[in-house]
Structure 1
Amino acid sequence: MIRSFLTVSTGTLASRLLGFARDAMIAALLGTGPVADAFLMAFQLVNVVRRLLTEGALNAALVPAWLRLRQTEGAVAAAAFAGRVLGTVSAALIVVAGLIGLVMPLVVTLLAPGFAGHPTLQLAVDDARLMLPYLAFAGPATVMMALMSAQSRFALTAFSPLLFNIVLIAVMIALLGWRPDAHDAGLIMAATVGIAGLLQLLILLLGRGGGSTATPLRVAFDADMRGFAGKAIPGMIASAGPQILVVAGAIIASSSPSAVSWLYFANRLIELPLGIVGVAMGTVLVPKLTRALRGDDRTVVAHAESRGLELAVGLVLPATLGLIVLSEPVVRMLFQHGAFTASDTAATAQALTVLALGLPAQVLVKALAPAFFARGDTLTPLFATLKGVAVAIVLALVLGRLFGASGIAASIALGAWSSALSLIRRGAATFGFSIDAAARRRLPRIAVAALVMGGLLWLTARLMPAPGAEPHGVAQALMLAVLIAGGTAVYGALLALFGVASWGEAAAAFRQTAASDLRD
């Protein structure tokens, strides 16, 4: 499982790093004014769709159903079921995209009520309509990637999303050279989103991404499809919980100038560790747990849940502390270019510090939800997500008035913890979490290693000189890179010292990539 996890995590890390480059260019082109707020609100809708569809969420329903059919009725029946899912999902999303386009002013008003009565509303509507084709292209890409995950083919699933960011970055490089006004740049970038979605679908088709296991292709609304939709839709919403929480915060933030932009850029940094852990959990852990549960092998179930929790905690704790300690220099280096000012950096860093407090909860949700998904229960994670969203909205109405964007960030973090605690209580009451002795021994040591690393990082960060006239210059970037690399090295050394993991084990996990993990 670790090899598969690393394959998916590596692809996700590459995609997130390209995403930072993309967002730095967005900040330089649009800044944080009304044009940026409009574009980023529309882009957040696309990001939610991406999480709902393309980043492992559909695995919650499709993978267990496909594996069950292949085991009980054979490969032909499983392929026919997959063909109906592929055809039906594709057709349904084309219709949904068209309908949403017709009522887009109402949709944007509901999601950003603060835009009503301002030119920002029409800007957001125009941007969102130009991005809508992505929704139709994401449908078949979703099914193909889920089928590949069910067959332990993780490489193309992990790396195909890179193309989305590569296309957007290429267009923005051209825009930075051309220097159009912010309004025109936003429209061009919005139109590029749909093109990027098409290219991502094409690379999956060219790589035979599950097409051979989804035949014949049909549109159907029979009992099987209705049952599948009944499980898929709740699971997909639950898997996109962190992004839905951010959208809930943006609804409240839309009434404050630039707050939508500050929260967006802060959340982009949260999504790096969240994506690495969350996408890998959804893509790798669900198939592993499903197979173990079908074989009634409690030892394998305990091993899968324990290793998944160890990997999640081992990655998220140092990331959380690092984001809190280095929030301002990281934001300054990545985003303070062009129209993005020093005051924007300060506001974004404050929001990031508070959002990071909710990161462990968001990763816990990603680590715990597969235990429900593999058992065919998608409603419990859905209810936990909806509870968290309700908590976030109610608190944002209060904290947003008192503390602005930072107060809304705090409400998002508290909403995430509400969701995580709901899953913990429900899981313990229904089936219990199988944590083996090795995990009980390693988890406290991981926590101590992360705390020591965080303390050392805080002490050394205080030695960094204050930014000068060029706050994002080469010297500042190098010092920040040294801090991050040093903290990572210290954390790895502590894990080895505490007997949690050795460098040899990590290197072996990278080297021993089975052919079944990477075949095309």
Structure 2
Amino acid sequence: MIRSFLTVSTGTLASRLLGFTRDAMIAALLGAGPVADAFLVAFQLVNVVRRLLTEGALNAALVPAWLRVRETEGAVAAAAFAGRVLGTISAALIVVTAAIGLLMPFVMSALAPGFAGHETLQLAVDDARLMLPYLAFAGPATVMMALLNAQARFALTAFSPLLFNIALIAVMIVLFGWRGDAATAALVVAATVGIAGLAQLLILVLRPGGGIATPLRIAFDPHMRGFLGKAIPGMVASAGPQLLIVGGAIIASSSPSAVSWLYFANRLIELPLGIVGVAMSTVLVPEMTRALRIDDPQSTAHAQSRGLELAVGLALPATLGLAVLSEPVVRLLFEHGVFTAADSMATANALMWLAFGLPAHVLVKALSPAFFARGNTMTPLFATLKGFVVAIVLAVILGHVYGAGGIAASIALGAWSSATSLIRHGAVEFGFAIDASARRRLPRIVLAALIMGALLWLAAPGMLASSANPHGIVQGALVALLITGGIAIYGLFLGFFGVIRRDEVVNAVRQTTGSGLRD
């Protein structure tokens, strides 16, 4: 499980790092004004649907169903089931894409009511329509990735999303040399989103060794309706973090540049969230499904325990690091081109509040597979919707008083509402079984993270004050040194407390590089 987790996490980390490069270029190209707000609202629409399908969401619904068919009816029946899923989802998304394109003015008015009566609304409509083809390509690509994950072939699915960011970065490099107006640049980048989706699909379709989804056909038989009835709630539940940020953007749309500030702050949250959350959904769901199929409580507890340890062990230090270093990191990454110092301050303030919701997001990702593996997608769905309502209500109140920072705090509180709801329901329905090792390690992980955060908080002001340029090479080196030092301190204390051993880490990495990347 650790080897698979590292494979998926490595691919996700590479994709997120490219995503930072992409977003830094978007900030420099579009700034944080009306053009950027319009582009980013449109991009969030595509991104939410993308996250509903990709990054583990559809995987959490399809993998248990596919494994169940293969184990009870055989490989041929599993391939036929996968072919029906692939054909049905692809056809449905084509219809949905066309419908959204026709209704886009109404969709954008609902997602960004503050744009009504302004030119920003039409800009958002134009950008979103150009991005829509991506949705038609994302459906079949996601089904193929989920089927590969079900067969424990994680490498291609982990690294294929890199093409999305590579395509956007390449186009923006050309746009910087072209130096046209921001509105036209936004339209060009929006059109590239669809092309990037096609590239991602082709790399999966043209891979060697097919036949896992044949014959391809559209079906709405009882078996397929039952699958979709469970899949759709699970997909919505898995996209909880993105739905919360969309809810925040709905409220923020009435404030100039607030949508952009929230978007760029959330991008930093998505790095640790993506590494942990995607790996949880991609690796933990198959592990728990197999354990439940053979009625092995020990294996189930082992999977839940290791998932919870990995989630807390990566999310908590990331939360503290982002909260302490929010301002220098935002300045370093985004304060270029037409993205101003005032934009950096507002984004850093939003990031600090969003960071406190990161552990809750990761807990949801770690706890949801326990429900998905049991075929229960409704409980995570209701928890997600509850968090969304809490975030919206609080954003109206706190956003009016504290602006974008208040909306960010509301999103964090909405995430905690979802997490606590899952914890309560899981404890009542089946109990979250964790082994003795997890009960011993988890308090030590928390203590090591708190020590790291305290030392980082003490060291950061003195070190960063020595750099006059807030986004120069020296500042970048100092921020990198602080991050590297924080990771080293955290790792040392994990070792000192007996949470990890050097030989375990070395063996896991060797297994990953030796066989995990050859899937």
Q: Residues 187 and 121 (structure 1 numbering): CA distance in 2 closer, same or farther, change over 3 Å?
A: same
1:58 match: secondary structure: helix
Aligned to 1:113: 113
Assess if the C-alpha contact under 8 Å between 1:52 and 1:237 holds in 2. yes
**C-alpha displacement of 1:124:** 0.1
Residue 226 of structure 1 corresponds to: 225
Contact 1:33 1:258 in 2 (8 A): yes
Shift of 1:208: 4.3
- Aligned residue for 2:60? 60
Measure, in 1, the Cα distance between the counterparts of 2:34 and 2:177: 22
Deviation of residue 464 (structure 1)? 2.5
CA distance in 2, matches of 1:162, 1:56: 16
Matches within 5 A, 1:109-148: 109-148=109-148
User: Is the contact between residue 130 and residue 190 of structure 2 (CA under 8 Å) also seen in structure 1?
Assistant: yes
Paired residues of 2:6 and 2:512 also in contact (CA < 8 A)? no
Letter in 2 for 1:242: P
Letter in 2 for 1:256: S
Residue 507 (structure 1) aligns with: 506
Amino acid of the structure 1 residue aligned with 2:182: A
* Structure 1 SS opposite 2:512: coil
**CA gap 1:514/1:174 in 2 versus in 1, 3 angstroms:** closer
Cα offset, 1:47, TM superposition: 1.3
The superposition leaves residues 243-264 of structure 1 with CA deviations (integer Å, 9 ceiling, x where unpaired) of: 0000000000000000000000
Q: CA deviation at 1:412?
A: 0.3
Q: Distance in 2 between matches of 1:514 and 1:212?
A: 27
For residues 280 and 81 of structure 1, what CA distance do their matches in structure 2 show? 25
Amino acid at match of 2:440: R
TM-score in terms of structure 2 length = 0.99
The offset of 1:467, in angstroms, is 7.8
- 2:96 maps to amino acid: V
SS in structure 1 of the partner of residue 14 of structure 2: helix
Kindly state the Cα deviation for residue 502 of structure 1 after the two structures are TM-superposed.
1.7
Equivalent residue, structure 2, for 1:164:
164
Which residue in 1 is equivalent to 2:398? 399
Residue 460 (structure 2) aligns with: 461
Q: How far apart are residue 504 of structure 1 and its match?
A: 2.2
State the distance in 2 between where 1:151 and 1:491 align: 34
Using the TM superposition, give the Cα deviation of residue 212 of structure 1 relative to its aligned residue in structure 2, in angstroms: 1.5
Specify the alignment match of 1:239 in structure 2.
Answer: 238
Deviation at 1:188, TM superposition (A): 0.2
Output one character per residue of 1:294-330: Cα deviation in whole Å (capped at 9) or x when no partner: 0000000000000000000000010000000000000
Give the equivalent residue in structure 2 for 1:491. 490
CA distance in 1, matches of 2:319, 2:407: 18
Q: CA deviation at 1:497?
A: 0.5
CA distance in 2, matches of 1:459, 1:56: 38
Whole-Å Cα distance in 2 between the matches of residues 345 and 415 of structure 1? 24
C-alpha deviations, 1:170-203, integer Å up to 9, x for none? 0001111111100000000000000000000001
CA change 1:458–1:51 in 2 (3 A) is same
Cα deviation, residue 508, structure 1: 1.0
- The answer for unaligned runs of 5 or more in structure 2 is none
Q: Which runs of 4+ in 1 moved over 6 A?
A: none
Quote the Cα distance in structure 2 between the aligned partners of 1:25 and 1:59.
31
Query: What TM-score comes out, normalization by structure 1 length?
Result: 0.98
3-state secondary structure, aligned to 2:180: coil
Aligned to 1:325: 324
Q: How far apart, CA to CA, are the structure 2 residues paired with 1:66 and 1:285? A: 15
1:149 paired with 2:155, answer no
CA distance in 2 between counterparts of 1:438 and 1:414 reads 30
Supply the distance in 2 between the matched residues of 1:206 and 1:468 (Cα, whole angstroms).
Answer: 50
Conserved in 2, the CA contact under 8 Å of 1:60 and 1:378? no
Displacement after TM superposition at 1:60 (Å): 1.9
1:61–1:516 distance in 2 versus 1, CA, 3 Å: farther
User: In structure 2, what is the Cα distance between the partners aligned to 1:157 and 1:458?
Assistant: 37
Instruction: Write the letter of the residue equivalent to 1:69.
Output: V
* 1:178 aligned residue: 178
Separation of aligned partners in 2, 1:510 and 1:233: 35
How far apart, in 1, do the equivalents of 2:19 and 2:466 lie?
25
Query: Which whole-Å CA distance do the structure 1 matches of 2:502 and 2:328 have between them?
Result: 30
- Cα-Cα RMSD: 1.1
Query: Aligned partners of 2:482 and 2:461: how far apart in 1?
Result: 11
- The answer to whether the 8 A contact 1:12-1:275 is kept is yes
1:84 matches 2:84: yes
Distance 1:159 1:220, change over 3 A: same
Q: Counterparts of 1:214 and 1:517 in 2: how far apart (Å)?
A: 23
C-alpha change, 1:296 and 1:261, in structure 2 (3 Å) is: same
In structure 2, how many angstroms separate the alpha carbons of the residues matched to 1:51 and 1:378?
Answer: 16
Q: CA deviation at 1:113?
A: 0.2
Inter-partner Cα distance in structure 2 for 1:208 and 1:37: 42
Distance 1:18 1:405 in 2: 26
User: Number of aligned pairs?
Assistant: 519
Distance apart, 1:512 and its partner CA: 1.3
Partner of 1:17: 17
Deviations 1:461-483 (A, max 9, x none): 01124486632110000011000
Match of 1:415 in 2: 414
Q: Deviations over 1:324-369 (max 9, x none)?
A: 0000000000000000000000000000000001110000000000
Q: Which residue of structure 1 lines up, in the alignment, with residue 473 of structure 2?
A: 474
> Partners in 2 of 1:518 and 1:147 — Cα distance?
17
How far did residue 516 of structure 1 move?
A: 7.0
Deviations 1:181-236 (A, max 9, x none): 00000000000000000000001112248x41100000111111111110110000
Q: Does structure 2 retain, via aligned residues, the 8 Å contact 1:153–1:516?
A: no
Which one-letter code corresponds to 1:39 in the other structure?
Answer: F
Letter in 2 for 1:113: P
CA distance in 1, matches of 2:225, 2:79: 18
Q: Partner letter of residue 188 of structure 1?
A: V
Whole-Å separation in 2 of the counterparts to 1:347 and 1:217? 50
